[in-house]
Chain A
Amino acid sequence: MLSKDKQALAGLRIIDLSQIFAGPYATKLLADMGAETIRVECAARSGRGGALPRMKPGGAFGASFPDGDTGERSYNRFAYYNEVNRNKYAITLDLTKPLGVEVFKRLVRISDVVVESFTPRVMKNFGLDYPVLRETNPQIIMISLSGYGQDGPYRDYVTYGEGIEAMVGLSQLTAYPDGEPLKPGVAYADATSGLHAAFAILAALRYRRLSGKGQYIDLAMREAVTPILGEAIMDYAMNKRAAKPMGNRHPLMAPHGCYRAQGRGRKGGENEKGVGENQKEGAWIAIAISSDEEWRSFCRAMGDPLWTRDEKFASRSGRLANREELDRLIEEWTSGYDHIELMNMLQGSGIKAGAVLNIAELAHDPHLNERGFFEELSHPEAGTHRYPGISWRMSRTPGRLRLPAPCFGEHNRFIFGELLGMSDEEVSRLADEGVSASEPLPYLEA
């Protein structure tokens, strides 16, 4: 390895059995930092949506394939999989077969961490629960991500991240003040659980470094997501008061909200090839004013219109009490300006203002690009595209996108042959007996 390309987690080996998003997000963070991450997939559960016939299905799903085309091997071209599994290797093993289990154990012997996100009974059914893995490798760290945890009455309940968002109170609070419960527009519970899982793995590794001991980590997504609602839970504990949706309002700041603007210079939409779910989304700017001093700066930036001199807006308590009127007056002003130009102008006056960036604007944001947040990767079946890169900057071990997401079974020969030292005959036998599949089963839901 070149010294200029130091990786924080070089030398660490992770086996990743996890599916969909939460577990793969955890291992993405570690793989980005240089951990050698080997995804173990099988024909029935590829984590890639299975094999689809070639088509151009349209909508958000169709758009998840390069040029809207599922291609010959859809499972190697799926955006959801390819974004979160870059920097990883992939092999195929059928763990319902004894030979698959045997090969898996050989891998466990030379690895540091096993990550899985099945419902709680599955690993035991494979004969690969923690007591077995510990016997195979006493230093192994195993983490199980599940919806509700490895015990308790909901242990076997099925859920996705959105169900968890509902069950922790997040959906109820993600709403307009007068509206019905909605939910975050992205897989928020999955990402939040994945981040906690990555932290848990690194904490267990630190303990192993000092004690020589591995351990088992039980991460219930619901429990990992609950702390982000901490202050609302404390309010209930203290005052028996259940938080209500506040939309874009803030308990202590006014003005605080999202205001209509023009999108004149907007990228995407009609200006580019971009076609989206919602062509009428409009252009918006978020503004947050936390002190009377900031309020006066904001009034100056607006050119001190007469209404701002009204006494009722002079103090924070007055602005909070009259925020509906305040928001309306501000929006009359913002709606004459381009959201990006307005952001630049207000920030230049020291005001907390941010354009609501759509995905095209985010991808072209000058600041994120200056910081090298997006990186280009060439994938043998998906082509050359830009992806969100490393989530943070590190001075000595910056990390980068080294490898495109693996194709299904791409590293079978490398991992079985080079890493486990199996002979060509043994590797062929895995394929012949259907232990290592070369393509996923046809598409089934989820």
Chain B
Amino acid sequence: MPHQALSGLVALDLSENISGPYSTKLLADYGAEVIKIEKPPLGDSSRRAGPFPNDQPDPEKSGLFLFLNTNKKSITLNLESEGGAQIFNRLVERADILVENFRPGAMASVGLDYEVLAEINPALIMTSISYFGQWGPYRDWDGSDIIAQAMGGLMGLTGEADREPLKLPLSQAEFQAGLNAAVATLSALYFRDETGEGQHVDISLQEAVASILEASVTIYSYSGFLRGRMGSRNHLQCPSRVMPAKDRFIHVQAGANWDHFSTFLQAPQLMEPRFASILRYHYADEVERLIQPWLEKHEAGEIFATGQEWRIPFALVLGIDELIADPQYEARGFFQEVEHPLAGRLVYPGAPFRMSETPAEARRAPLLGEHNEQVYIGVLGLSKDNLTDLSEQGII
């Protein structure tokens, strides 16, 4: 009996940085055996990205790498060497899933495109992630997270109307692509389990971003209306924005009952008929002006706690430093301590969802090439001498 949801699945992970590794992190955290294949001698680029403890770069201590590669194995292999591709093909024979995020055409240039791999293993699911997808006019364009956020339509909707468009922090297009890759891969797996047929999945960061624009494109086709940037305001609901309370910012939202909200804020002027419906967004400036004085007299923590007793959906605008000690995360044990031989014991974000029968597990990320012997000798049956030769030839 499998003990985790994805136990028994073998995924080869050629991807690096964020998009591919987040998709395989999800697979690994929920039980798949993920073999990360890193190019010698440096390995995954996220090993060099940091953050590092005390800002001292060390490829085994990059916070981004440690977080994205929990529960995975690492082997080193140079696919550009001839022996490397042969060894890779032997792994493909045994794999269910392959994830890669090279530039389109890179796999073909080393003779490892989907058509070739499908002959070796027709049931293989190969998931390719790139900025613009495996075909189309922009296929060979170069990208980065900010480019995908710009060309996916997200950046034009974020930020203040009278300032430059604003990207979401860190690498959100990469995460969206990773999530799409994870869902698409398991959809393909469902089909394979039904029919025995593998397939090639093509994930584009631009499309991953363009898929989450709420109804912006549909609204445009319905009425020609172009949504724009609104700062922290919401396109439909008023009020719904970040506002200053006495001591710090709070997210203000009225919720389902406007009279209730007006009463809570001791602001009878808000009960004017013209503010009574959703159409009060036409008077957003006035509505916010009526709310602001009360907010400034009360501390955010008090507004949040008392507001929730009234079932008004206030929320605190928290900083990253306030998450780990937060009572709700703590009560649910969300953050997980993970021990690593070089980086030490650190707190990591935990499982994104809880499964009653098959919970996620949190084992540390691998050292570069840590599982070479286990995979090459234990699985492929090479000898120690073979390994030494391969290492000297720069293949592993």
Contact = CB atoms under 8 A, between A and B. Distances in A.
Interface stretch (A97-105, A120-128, A393-401): A393-401
Given A186-B157, A248-B166, A258-B167, A169 B240 contact: no
A158 B311 contact: yes
B388 interface: no
B208 to A, nearest CB: 7
Interface residues of B, number: 168
B342 interface: no
B51 A239 contact: yes
Interface string A416-446: 0000000000000000000000000001111
A286 B351 CA distance: 34
A360 interface: yes
A171 B251 CA distance: 9
A336 interface: no
A200 interface: yes
Contacts of B227: 60, 185, 276-277, 359
A184 B219 CA distance: 18
Nearest to A405: B218
Contacts of B251: 162-163, 165-166, 171, 183
Most B CB contacts (10 A, CB to CB) among A11, A79, A170, A203 go to: A203
Given A58-B282, A169-B323, A211-B1, A160 B218 contact: no
B55 to A, nearest CB: 7
A367 interface: yes
B217 A288 contact: no
A174 B158 contact: yes
Interface in B217-268: 217-232, 234-236, 240-242, 244, 249-251, 253-258
A351 interface: yes
Interface string B113-128: 0100000000000000
A147 to B, nearest CB: 8
Given A200-B355, A203-B186, A206-B186, 5 more contacts: A59-B281, A63-B219, A162-B240, A230-B64, A392-B204
Given A358-B156, A394-B188, A233 B320 contact: yes
Interface residues of A, number: 177
Contacts of A333: none
B228 A276 contact: yes
B191 A8 contact: yes
Interface in A169-213: 169-176, 179-188, 191-192, 195-200, 202-207, 209-211, 213
A171 B147 contact: no
25 contacts: A64-B236, A166-B251, A174-B169, A176-B160, A176-B163, A185-B157, A191-B176, A195-B182, A223-B351, A238-B343, A252-B49, A258-B165, A258-B167, A277-B230, A284-B156, A286-B146, A288-B144, A354-B143, A358-B228, A388-B218, A391-B211, A396-B188, A396-B197, A443-B278, A445-B255
A-B pairs, top 10 by smallest CB distance, nearest first, are: A234-B63, A276-B226, A278-B228, A185-B157, A163-B315, A63-B225, A202-B186, A242-B321, A152-B331, A354-B147
Interface stretch (A302-310, A315-323, A370-378): A370-378
A163 B147 CA distance: 27
A5 to B, nearest CB: 13
Interface stretch (A65-73, A88-96, A406-414): A65-73
Given A167-B316, A278-B229, A373 B207 contact: yes
Interface string B351-369: 1111111100000000000
A121 B268 CA distance: 32
B297 interface: no
A190 to B, nearest CB: 8
A260 B164 contact: yes
